[in-house]
Chains A and B, each alone.
Chain A
C-alpha cells in the first residue's frame, strides 16, 4: 500500500486548477498556488527567512515558509517555467480576466504586464512549432495568444468558443510541439502553430488536458468524464458522478509508463493505467482536490507526485518501490483474482439457469414473470416531424413491438442531446401500449449514437425483457426536405468547387440527412426545424456547389462535413451572408464605443481617487486639529464620493462585460468565416481577418470574409 511521504497543512485555501511548482531561484522547487482575495502564495520550505519583503511580495504572518504575492485581481490561471533566455530561475506567470503578469520571484520584479482583452482562462508555457523562443500561451474568450519573454505576442489565432484548457504536446509526431485546446463548445482542437490540424468532438466542456507520452494525452470534461486519447482515437474513458478537478501524468508504479492521475471534486485521487483506465491506486482527501503537480520537493533527486486540496492540504507520493510489484492497493492480488473468477462463474451459472428455466417453459398464468413470445422483435424508426400546434418540431423515434406485448418504459442513453446522459419515457399504467414515440430535439448538428433500452412485457408484469438497440442519428437530422420550390431562397450563400462526381455528394446527403426515401440528385431544399429558414444545396455540372442559408454556422458545418466526406484537404470558397455581416458591422461599431467609454471611465476614476486622497488628508487633519464639524463634513463628502465610485464601478464592469461579449462575437465571426473553408485557405482567412482587425480596417475584414483573401 502506497502512503504519502509527506503531508503539509498550508492553512491557505487553494483555487482549483491554479497550482504549479516552480524553481524560482533555479534550485529549490516551490509550490505556488492562487488563493483567495487575489493573492498567490509561494511555499518555499527550503530557503527559510532569506526572502526580502518588498514590492508585491510579503511574508505571511501565519507561516514563515509562505510568501504571498498580491495580484489585486481575481487570478484565473497560473503557471511557472523557463520563459526568458538568461534568467536564473523559473518565471511565474499569472493570468487574470484582463491581464497577464510575468514575474520574476527571485529578483522580485515584473518582467512584463500585458493587458489581454480576451482574458486568460488557461495558460501553458513552452515551445510551439517552429517558434524559436518559449511562449506563454493563454487561452481566453475564443482567442489564443502567445507571448515571449519581452511580452511581444508572436502567436494569435481564434478558436470556436471560450478556451478552458491548454496543453503542448507532439501530437503529429514530427518532433515539434502542437497546441491542444479544450473549449466550451466541447471540442478539443489541435493547432500546429496557427493551423488547425485536428478536431475531436466530446460531449461536454473540456476542463483539463494533460500530455501523457508520445502523442497520447489525457482529458477531463465538466460532466465527470476522464479519458485518454492517442492522436484522434480515444483509448478509454470513464465517467464518475464527481468532477475531475485536475489531471496529471505521473509514473506512480515505477513501470516506466506514466499513469493518468486524477484529482476529483469529492477529494478522491486515483491513478489509472494509460492503456486500460484500470485503477491502480487511490487515496482520499477530506475536501475537493485543487491541483495535482510533480516536483522534487524533498530535494533528494526523486520526483514526487504532489496533490493539493482546496483547503490547503498537500500530500506528496513517491513512485512505488520495486518490491510493491505495482500492487499499490491494500489488498492481495490472489484473493482478488479468485474472487473475480468465482464471480464470473456465478454469473455464468446464473445465465445458464436462465436458459434452463426458459427451456422448461413457464405456465402462461404466471404473468408476473413477463412472458413474451420468443419471436418478439422491436422495430425502430426515425423520422422528421415539422412543428405542429401541440408540439415543437422534432425528430421522432418510434419503437414498437409486433405483437400484443407492451413497452413499459424506454431508456435512451446518448451523449450531448439530452440534459443528462439519458432520456426516459415511462407511460402511466393506463397509457401502456406496444408502441412508444419519443420526440428528440438535438441541440447541435452532431451525429449521435442512441443506445435504446426498452422494457418489454405484459401489462401486469413485474419483470420485463430488456431489448437493447443502438441507432445512429445522422448529423443533420433537424432538416426536413421540401419539394415546394416557390419560396425565395435565402440571400446568404457560400460557393465552392469540387472535383468529384455528383453521386458522391448524393451519397453524402443520404448519409448525413434524415431522408424518408433518399434522394438521387444533389439539388435539394430543406426546411430547418430549428427555425433557421430554408437551406438549399445545388451543384452545377462543373462541380460548383452553392449552399444557400442564412445560418453561417450551418454553412460552416456543411462545408466541413462535406470536405471530410470527400477527403478534400484544401478548399477555398466565396461567401456572402448579408444579414450576419450587417450584425457584425454593428458589433464592431459597438466595440469602438465601448472602448471609448472604457477610456473615459478610467480617466474619471483616476480623478476620483485623487479627490479621495485629498479628502482623506483634509479629514484627518481636521480630526487632529479637533475641528469635528469639518471632519464630519469631509467624511460625509468622502462617503458620497465612495458611493459614486461604487456606482461608477458598476457601470465600468457592465461596460466591460458588454465589451467582452462583443469581442467574443468578433472572434467567433472570424472562426466562422474560417470554417467556410478548409485547410490552407482557412488559415489564410483567419490571419487576414486578424490583420484587418489589427489595422481596424472593417471593409477589408468583410472583403476577406467574402472572398477568402485580402487582395483585390
Chain B
C-alpha cells in the first residue's frame, strides 16, 4: 500500500534537542491538536494552526537550553501537562502556559533524558538515574555507561512501573527500584526508546513492548518482562541511512494498526507499516535537509487529515500531511498563491525589513567599536551538532556536522595520517592543501567550500590502527560577523575497535599483562585513551572487563583491569603490540614504573591469517573480475554476442554492474588488508626480538601471488 504525504512547513523556532516537540491531546474528536516545542534558547512555544497560519497559544521567556520535553498528567486524565527540563531543573506548564511546577533535581550534571508518568518523574543525567514520586526522592541508580534515553512501562500485566534505560554501551538496562533487574543487548548504541503500544494520543503505555533506535540506524522491538525480555524483531540499516533520533507510533496509513514513524539524523523521515505477518515494512520515506529531532503523528494543519509532524535541528516544525496539495494553476502567467500564503509572505517580508534596519544599526555600532582601543569583540558561540562515529560496515569513521545556518567553509586538519573519502551526498568542493609535517605536524589539511544553503556536511575518514592523534574541524558559517569554531575528534590507537558483549573464548589468544603502582582510575584513563566507546567515568567496583572486536578484521580483544594490574587478551598480535606501545608510553609520561609481560601464542598468527583469508581471497577475486569486465565487454561488442565465452566469463558479464558497485563501495580495501598483514608480520617477530622490516618486500611479493599456504609458510619460516 502506497501513501503520499505532502510537506507543509509551519514555523521555525531556535535550535532543538532530541525529543523536544510534542502534540497536546485533542480536545474533541477530529479537532486539530496544539504543538508544544522547546528550544535551546530555553523558550517553550505552544501553537495551533488557524487557517494555515501558526497562532501561538503561549511562549515562555528565554532561559537555559531545554534538553527534553514530556507530557504528563494525573492517571486517567488527558496527558496535557507539559514538562521540560533545562540544566538540573524540571518545570511543568499547563496547556495554557501557566507554570505550576519548578523542581530542582539537585543533580550536579544537567538532565539529558526525562520521563513523566502520573506522579512519577524519572530523570537521567549522564550516568545517573533518579526516580521521584511527587517530587520526593525514590530510587537512584548509577549506570555503567552514558544514558541516552529513558522510558517507563506500566501495564496490567506488570505489578510495578518498569523503568528502562538506553545506555551507550549497547544495552537497555531494566531497573527494579534502585537495582538493575537485567539488561538487554542491542545491536548498536541505543539513542531513543519509545513505548510501542500507546493508548491513543495519551502517554500511558498499555503493553510491555519497547521500540528502540540506535545511533547507527537500527530499529528493534523488545518485549519487556519483569525479569526477562525477548527481542521481537530488528531492522538492519542496510542502506546506511543516518542514526535514529526519534520514534513514534501512529496509524498514519489508516489500516487500524499503529505504524512506526522514524526520524533520523540525516534528515530521513520514514513510515513503517505492518504486513499481514506483522513484519515492519517501509511504506514512506521523505528526506528533509537536516536532522529530525522529534516526530509525532497527529492532526495539526487541518481537521480530519492525519499527518506526521517533525521538528528539525534548526527548529523547523514541518508536517507531512495526508491532505492533498491543491493544484493552484489559474489563468494568467503568475503562479497563484492562496490568500493565506500571500498574507504570510507579506508578514514575513515586513518583518524582514524591520530586522534589516535593526541589523544595519547593529553593524554600524559594531564597526564603531572597532575604533575604540578599549572595547573587545566577542561573538557568542554558535551551536554545532556533530557526530563522529565508526561505521561497522566499511571500518571508517563518519563525521557529520550540522549548524543552524548555512556553512561557508570547513577546514579539516589532522596530525595523524588519515584518508578522507568522498561522500556522494556531500556536494561541497574539497581541496587538499600541501602539508608540511615539519615543523607544524600537519598530515591532512583540506578545505570544503560549501554550496549555498548547506547546513549539514557529511565526511568519511579512514584511520590506521596504531597511529593516533587529533582531527580538528574549523567550521565557518555564513553569518556576520564571521567567526569559526573548532571541534576536536580523537583518533584513538585502536580506532577500528568496537565494544561487544562477549567474545569467542576458544580462539588462540595472546596476553599482555601490566603490573605496577597505578590506580584503577589511571589504568582506566589509559584504556579510554586507547579504545573507543569506553565510558570516561571510572567504573564502579574493584575491577572491570571490556570486550571489543575489530570491525575490519573481526579479531577480538578482552581488557580486564583493576588497581595495580591489567590484562589484555587478543587473537591479533598487532593489537597487543599497539597496546603495549601506547600503554608503556602513557605510563612513562606519568613516571609510573610498569612491569610488562607477554604471553604470545604462535598459533594466533596463523589463526588471524586464516581469518583474513576469506576476505582477502574475495577481494582478490573481485579485483580480478572487475579488471576483466571492460575487455569482455569489448569482445562482446566485437563478436556481437557473448555465447562463445566460457560460462565463468559470461557470469562476470552478467554480473558486471553488481561487481562494479561492490568494488566501488570498498576503495583501497585490498591495500588495507595488505597493510594489516604486513603489520602482523612485523609485530610477530617484534615480540621475538627480531627486526624483519627488510623482508617486507618478499612478503608483498607473496601477497601479489596470494596463496594461503605459501603465506602461512612464509610467516613460520622466517
Contact = CB atoms under 8 A, between A and B. Distances in A.
B476 A466 contact: yes
Contacts of B485: 462-464
B479 A351 contact: yes
A585 to B, nearest CB: 39
B378 A369 contact: yes
B62 to A, nearest CB: 10
A35 B638 CA distance: 11
Contacts of B433: 418-420, 422-424
A377 B314 CA distance: 33
A504 interface: no
Nearest to A347: B405
A325 B331 CA distance: 11
A352 B358 contact: yes
Contacts of B453: 343
A153 interface: no
Contact of B637 (A35, A327, A333, A353): A35
B341 A371 contact: no
Nearest to A355: B362
Interface string B338-379: 100100110011011001101100110110011111011111
Given A36-B637, A374-B372, A338 B366 contact: no
B215 interface: no
A332 B325 contact: yes
A479 B433 CA distance: 25
Given A239-B429, A423-B434, A37 B486 contact: no
A35 B636 CA distance: 12
Interface string B374-390: 01111111100000000
Interface string A350-381: 11111111110110101011111111110000
A569 B641 CA distance: 62
A306 B377 CA distance: 56
Contact of A422 (B355, B447, B634): B447
Contact of B378 (A240, A334, A339, A370): A370
Interface residues of B, number: 86
Contacts of B352: 341, 344-345, 348
B351 A37 contact: no
A58 to B, nearest CB: 9
Contact of B348 (A345, A361, A369, A427): A345
A346 B379 contact: no
Contact of B379 (A342, A369, A375): A369
Nearest to A286: B657
Interface in B452-500: 453, 474, 476, 478-487
B194 to A, nearest CB: 29
A409 B413 contact: yes
Interface string A666-689: 000000000000000000000000
B348 A411 contact: no
Which of A61, A355, A376, A409: most chain B Cβ within 10 A? A355
B333 interface: yes
Contact of B373 (A13, A375, A431): A375
Contacts of B482: 465-468
Interface in A35-77: 35-37, 39, 60-62, 68
Nearest to A336: B9
A426 B440 contact: yes
B346 to A, nearest CB: 10
A62 B335 contact: no
Given A338-B9, A338-B344, A409-B474, A466 B484 contact: yes
B399 interface: no
Given A240-B429, A428-B441, A346 B12 contact: yes
Interface in B403-446: 404-405, 409, 411, 413, 415, 422, 424, 426-434, 439-442, 445-446
Contact of B439 (A241, A370, A377, A431): A431
A344 B356 CA distance: 10
A354 to B, nearest CB: 5
B613 interface: no
B449 interface: yes
B381 A369 contact: yes
A352 B351 CA distance: 14
Given A462-B485, A463-B485, A466-B482, A334 B376 contact: no
B329 interface: yes
A295 B348 CA distance: 45
Contacts of A420: 430-433, 447
Contacts of B634: 36-37
B7 interface: yes
Given A62-B640, A333-B335, A354 B355 contact: no
Nearest to A461: B486
B337 interface: yes
A106 interface: no
A426 B413 contact: yes
Contacts of A334: 335, 337-338, 341, 345
A346 B405 contact: yes
A354 B480 CA distance: 8
A342 B377 contact: no
B373 A354 contact: no
B347 to A, nearest CB: 10
A224 interface: yes
A337 interface: yes
Contact of B375 (A348, A374, A431, A466): A374
A39 B375 contact: no
A656 interface: no
A560 interface: no
B370 A374 contact: yes
B8 interface: yes
Question: Taking each of A13, A348, A376, which has the highest tally of chain B beta carbons within 10 Å of its own beta carbon?
Answer: A348
B345 A338 contact: yes
Contacts of B479: 347, 350-351, 354
A465 B335 contact: no
A371 B429 contact: no
B355 A339 contact: no
Contacts of B440: 426-428, 431
A37 B430 CA distance: 35
A355 B367 CA distance: 10
Contacts of A239: 429, 449
B523 to A, nearest CB: 27
A109 interface: no
Contacts of A240: 427, 429
B579 to A, nearest CB: 27
A12 interface: yes
Nearest to B342: A334
A244 to B, nearest CB: 13
Contact of B7 (A335, A356, A359, A426): A335
A240 to B, nearest CB: 7
Interface in B566-607: none
A368 B344 CA distance: 41
A150 interface: no
Contacts of A371: 376-378
Nearest to B488: A462
Contacts of B381: 368-369, 462-463
A577 interface: no
B362 A356 contact: yes
Interface string B228-263: 000000000000000000000000000000000000
B59 interface: no
Contacts of A370: 378-379, 483
5 contacts: A62-B641, A357-B379, A369-B381, A463-B381, A467-B482
Interface of A: 12-13, 35-37, 39, 60-62, 68, 224, 239-241, 266, 323, 325, 327, 332-335, 337-339, 341-359, 361-362, 364, 366, 368-377, 408-409, 411, 413, 418-424, 426-428, 431, 453, 455, 462-468
Given A335-B8, A373-B376, A426-B413, 6 more contacts: A12-B637, A68-B637, A348-B356, A462-B486, A465-B377, A466-B476
The 6 A-B residue pairs with the shortest CB-CB distance, nearest first, are A420-B431, A61-B640, A355-B362, A466-B482, A374-B375, A424-B433
